Structure 1
Amino acid sequence: MIKMSSMDKKSLALLCALSLPVHSASEEQALNKATNYVDNNVLQVAAEMNNLVEKSVFLEIDHFQQRQIMVGEYGRILVRENFDSAWVQANVPVQTTITAVEFIDDKVAWAVGHQGVILKTIDGGYNWSKVFDGIQLTGLLKTSLEVQVTLLTAEFELAQSTGIDEDSLDELEMQLDDASYKLEDLTVNSGIEIAFFDVLFNAANYGLVIGAYGAMLETKDGGENWQYIGYQVPNPEGFHLNSLTIDDNNNIYIVGEAGLGMATSDQGQNWRSLNIDYIGSLFGIEVNGTSLYSYGLRGNMFASQDQGATWQHLDTGVTNHIFSADWLNNQELLLVGAGGLKLVYNGNTFENISKNNQRIDITSVKIVDDNVITTGLRGWQASSKSKLGQGGLK
């Protein structure tokens, strides 16, 4: 067993994804093994009800108006109608870790997690259904790679016949070899080994899911069907994709491992790279008008005032990993992270309001009216905005 003294929501997701077995038998034998494995694993077993569920590890929280949903380990999802009501444990058909959740309206929400799981609720979060998992993801990976190999083969053969420069030909050959290798290396368990880290719907019909190893899914029909588009975006190395957000002009932004950033202005038809000039992991990105703020490892944070065209490094004054952020108001951003980090940025300066006696990692934060709600490795916490300057959350 791997033991970790401190765990953020991305490493927690990767821990499970990286520990799953990969079979090398024939396809039929591997399918049987995968089926037997899945029949007894977290994809097929409903989350257990637990009287102490509020003390579990939770990785993200979202809200629509007053209603709130928290998601975390073992398929545990909590929902409540408003800040003063009690949390209710939801009925969830899986026991895999759920890493992210997003409301569409007061009834519909989506959640994603380990083993390629996508969940949906249509009753405000009390009951969830599994609409997708890693077994289906394997099929999408296979189809997408087959298309890539076909297109790259045709492009390479055309390039050979037209006599393009040697460097360009070598690059095409490398891309073809890489796609061919990935296709040959694919097993029926490949999709189960992928964890999803975030989900976003900018309309009832169009949605994106991102995750480990460059995984990226798209739906144009409200989640009825999904397409794998991870090989169609500017991420040839397959870096992990950690977080995505959207601005008022419907521009979608994604950040991830190795300083990776990308954006689309036309619902995924075309993507452009964000040149953040950073080689570490970015865990989140926030929008304020035309301004963007991305944050990640060791307190690193970057700002763009021109929708991602250029970026500036900000000196946060801390070395704690920053995992999540939300707006206290139109100007102040509350950032949270490792070691109980709580940091307020007002657009010019940072104020560290962490409490010295609270070192538990904070995995996410949401501002609901005057209330500040956080999730972490020991459940959830809450306080009012007015108490932030008095030493942090209770």
Structure 2
Amino acid sequence: MCNKLIWFTAASSLYFSTAIKAETPQVDVQAAYHMPLASKSLLTDIISVAGKKLVAVGERGHILVSQDGTNWLQADVPVQANFNSVYFANEQQGWAVGHDATIVATHDGGVTWQLQHYKPETDKPLFDVYFVNEQKGMALGAYGMFLRTDDGGNSWHKHFHDELLLEEDQQYLAELKQTDPELYQIESEALLPHFNRVYADGNVLYMVGEAGFAAKSLDFGDSWQRLDEFYNGSLFDLIRTPQMALMAAGLRGHVFVSEDQGQSWQQVMLDENATLNSVFADEAGTIYLVGNAGTLLISRNTGDSFTDRSLADGKAIVNGLVWNKQLILVTETGIKTVNLSELN
């Protein structure tokens, strides 16, 4: 989820060598280099695949796979774009998205990856990816960029969800569409906020983003309802807590909770004011907030209060998960592992 660190992460430089097929005119790119210290470089997202392995993604096309959370192998990746998010639909099929509207896919559990979508000319990053099943998926990112596939990513199609615009912007675009189609096209790619995160809550999808943006879909993202704004800053992550509340986190230590499916939100007051990049929970019901400056906050009382267990090195934590009694974090300096017993 490196959208939270979008200004922290520099876009990858483009090199030209091996021809690849994409949904644009033929573009030449260079595969990611295999680096011995890739597990110590900027990593932005991590996922457990069926509880059997971990896959992490990060800068310069780095995708790492581990069977034990300690030893990491770098996968073969055909592009050097910075990745922001990774998602697996099953043990074998996964996707990662990132800068230059890049989408790569794997069909062998993350060992090798193929390029499905790449548009460096847009100069827009994708921030998150989610698949309803092995065929139907979506990728979303900057300025309302929303891509959809119904064939496992063999083809990706751009969708413009005008229902997510503010009412005045909807009226403005409706007039432009009639009077100035060229300007309409330009404006339609700039008026929507950044879509930072999509979260599947059973059959309902939630999305959060820039400037307090939040939305809800009851049909797996085919249409959306924009929720009333409850915060004027960016939101970077959203989960359903073990206590069945929605929790959103974002800029300057802001955390909000909703107990009515996103219709109203209450702020959780924290002493920490660092930007929070991700929120996640474990099977024991513990909630974790991670963010910049080494921020690690833990709640074992339904999110009513948090204990500060921030890392002393002060390096940004982008995301994490609990796996085999360990807290595994992806940070600006790579993988960091903390035994849960050390957090008691």
Code of the aligned partner of 2:332: L
**TM-score of the pair, normalised by structure 2:** 0.83
Name the structure 2 match of 1:224.
Answer: 154
> In 2, Cα distance between the equivalents of 1:263 and 1:223?
23
> In 1, Cα distance between the equivalents of 2:157 and 2:25?
23
From the superposition, tell whether residues 220 and 35 of structure 1 become closer, same or farther in structure 2 (CA, over 3 Å): closer
Name the structure 2 match of 1:251.
Answer: 204
Name the structure 2 match of 1:134.
Answer: 119
- 1 or 2, which has the higher strand percentage? 2
Percent of aligned positions that are identical: 32
> In 1, Cα distance between the equivalents of 2:8 and 2:145?
17
RMSD (CA atoms): 2.2
| Match status 1:285 vs 2:215 | no
- 8 A Cα contact 2:4 2:236, kept in partner: no
Give the secondary-structure state (helix, strand or coil) at the position aligned to 1:258: helix
Name the structure 1 match of 2:101.
Answer: 116
Name the structure 2 match of 1:272.
Answer: 225
**TM-score of the pair, normalised by structure 1:** 0.73
Task: Please state how far the C-alpha of 1:102 moved relative to its aligned partner.
Answer: 0.9
- Post-superposition Cα deviations, 1:178-223, rounded to whole Å, max 9, x if no partner, equal xxxxxxxxxxx2x2x1100000112122211110111111222222
Structure 1 portions without partners, runs of 5+: 1-6, 21-33, 136-188, 390-394
Name the structure 2 match of 1:182.
Answer: none
- 1 or 2, which has the higher helix percentage? 1
> In 2, Cα distance between the equivalents of 1:68 and 1:365?
11
Structure 2 portions without partners, runs of 5+: 15-23, 170-190
- 8 A Cα contact 1:66 1:83, kept in partner: no
Name the structure 2 match of 1:150.
Answer: none
- Post-superposition Cα deviations, 1:79-128, rounded to whole Å, max 9, x if no partner, equal 112335x2111000001101110111111111000001001011111100
* Bigger mean CA offset, 193-202 vs 217-226: 217-226
| Match status 1:360 vs 2:315 | yes
Code of the aligned partner of 2:7: S
Task: Please state how far the C-alpha of 1:35 moved relative to its aligned partner.
Answer: 7.1
Code of the aligned partner of 2:270: T
- 8 A Cα contact 2:161 2:223, kept in partner: no
Name the structure 2 match of 1:338.
Answer: 292
- Post-superposition Cα deviations, 1:121-174, rounded to whole Å, max 9, x if no partner, equal 111111000011116xxxxxxxxxxxxxxxxxxxxxxxxxxxxxxxxxxxxxxx
Residue of structure 1 aligned with 2:47, choices 62, 65, 70: 62
- 8 A Cα contact 2:138 2:146, kept in partner: yes
- Post-superposition Cα deviations, 1:252-284, rounded to whole Å, max 9, x if no partner, equal 111000000111011223211122411101011
Q: Which structure has the larger Rg?
A: 1
| Match status 1:205 vs 2:135 | yes
Task: Please state how far the C-alpha of 1:224 moved relative to its aligned partner.
Answer: 2.4
- Post-superposition Cα deviations, 1:313-338, rounded to whole Å, max 9, x if no partner, equal 11122101100122133532111101
> In 2, Cα distance between the equivalents of 1:233 and 1:352?
40
> In 2, Cα distance between the equivalents of 1:126 and 1:56?
19
> In 1, Cα distance between the equivalents of 2:331 and 2:69?
18
- Post-superposition Cα deviations, 1:63-90, rounded to whole Å, max 9, x if no partner, equal 1112111111110111112335x21110
Task: Please state how far the C-alpha of 1:226 moved relative to its aligned partner.
Answer: 2.0
Residue of structure 1 aligned with 2:325, choices 351, 370, 376: 370
Code of the aligned partner of 2:194: H
- 8 A Cα contact 2:11 2:81, kept in partner: no
Give the secondary-structure state (helix, strand or coil) at the position aligned to 1:213: helix
